[in-house]
Structure 1
Amino acid sequence: MEFIIPIKGAVNYKITLDSSVWIFDDRRIDLNTYFNTERNELDEDLEYTKVTSAHWSREIMEGATFPPTLKSEKKFEKTKMMTGTFGIHLKHFIKNSEPHPDASELVFESEAGDVFSIPFEEVDKIILKFSQEGKPLKEDGPIHVLLEDGSNYESPYKNISAIRIQ
């Protein structure tokens, strides 16, 4: 199975997504808890900057050696990555492709030739699931498309092979 998904169509930059590397992305979402907890609308770029700067400050103050608690945190995070179910918001990637101002529709194409679409304004409400219990989605992946409200969590759109902006 191909893990590469192109974003094409009415964009300035046609980009390809590799879902096999998202497990290392700090923007990943733990789907085991995401739909069960209340979320505050936060600027994810701002949060990422805060976390990164805190890590940088700690490294400057304490040096590159890791205190015992940080080692425990890293071990916990590694275990979580090996057993968790994860997704990532599509908006990060759409933003990088620079869609044309007249974009009106987001079309998901499947390997079987099926397509489904949503209005482009809803791009912020799409989550791409890429991992189930620590394993990539090989059978019906490489990604599943979930709606942010969780309404299609039990029956996501599967076998996505391309994302087209019209």
Structure 2
Amino acid sequence: MENIISFKGKVKYTITLDPGVWIFDDRRVDLNTYFDNEAENKNELEEYTKAVSKHWDREIMEGAVFPPTLKTEKKFEKEKVLTGTFGIPFKPFLLNAEPDKNAESLIIESEDGEVQLPLSQAEDLILGFSNEGKPLKSDGPVHVYLGDGSNKNNPIKRVKAFRVE
């Protein structure tokens, strides 16, 4: 149970986070390249439209059967999951907990002490949960990266809980 992280404080819902299941989450990001790319506001509708368009184009060009390229893409994706270094955006968890309207900050509780951030900055956090395909056992269960990547070489480690104040 040392891998379970509690989310508490001035929130409507106290939730628990289990980093062990995030490897299957489609929201995961590759930490090797995430901070190298320019931060861009992603329009979900636009991304969905592009994905559907790409699929439609593929069906027109190749037919509705599964061409061999799809099999190799699945194999590549599986290989990437088994060897990749991944993180997940913190914002969905923060929104699910529903912070009180008068809440101002997020406190990250770790074995090394506490770090306080304004809620606006907390929305951009990335929680690293995997390094080269392995869970973060020695200094995990998660590493907390600031959204701008300024601490990508020295993330907050040994996180035990998140507390909204």
So what's the TM-score if we normalise by structure 1? 0.86
- C-alpha displacement of 1:123: 1.8
- C-alpha displacement of 1:49: 4.9
Structure 1 residue aligned with 2:28: 28
Structure 1 residue aligned with 2:129: 130
Unaligned residue ranges in structure 2 (runs of 5+): none
- C-alpha displacement of 1:77: 0.6
Structure 1 residue 141 corresponds to structure 2 residue 155: no
**Letter aligned with residue 29 of structure 1:** V
Alignment of 1:86-125 (within 5 A): 86-110=86-110, 112=111, 114-125=113-124
**Letter aligned with residue 118 of structure 1:** L
**Letter aligned with residue 41 of structure 1:** N
Larger Rg: 2
Alignment of 1:46-85 (within 5 A): 46=45, 49-50=48-49, 62=64, 66-85=66-85
Structure 2 residue aligned with 1:7: 7
Within 2, Cα distance between the matches of 1:55 and 1:20? 32
CA, structure 1 residues 48+104, in 2 after alignment: closer, same or farther (shift >3 Å)? same
Question: Number of paired residues?
Answer: 161
Structure 2 residue aligned with 1:164: 163
**Letter aligned with residue 129 of structure 1:** G
CA, structure 1 residues 135+99, in 2 after alignment: closer, same or farther (shift >3 Å)? same
**Letter aligned with residue 70 of structure 1:** L
**Letter aligned with residue 102 of structure 1:** N
Structure 1 residue aligned with 2:16: 16
**Letter aligned with residue 139 of structure 2:** D
Structure 1 residue aligned with 2:150: 151
CA, structure 1 residues 39+161, in 2 after alignment: closer, same or farther (shift >3 Å)? same
**Letter aligned with residue 87 of structure 1:** G
Per-residue deviation, residues 40-90 of structure 1 (Å, max 9, x unmatched): 2114x546755886799899x94xx74322211111011111111111110
**Letter aligned with residue 104 of structure 1:** E
- C-alpha displacement of 1:164: 0.6
Within 2, Cα distance between the matches of 1:14 and 1:117? 19
Identity of aligned residues (%): 52
**Letter aligned with residue 142 of structure 1:** P
- C-alpha displacement of 1:13: 0.8
CA, structure 1 residues 82+56, in 2 after alignment: closer, same or farther (shift >3 Å)? same
Structure 1 residue 39 corresponds to structure 2 residue 20: no
SS at match of 1:118: strand
So what's the TM-score if we normalise by structure 2? 0.86
Unaligned residue ranges in structure 1 (runs of 5+): none
**Letter aligned with residue 69 of structure 1:** T
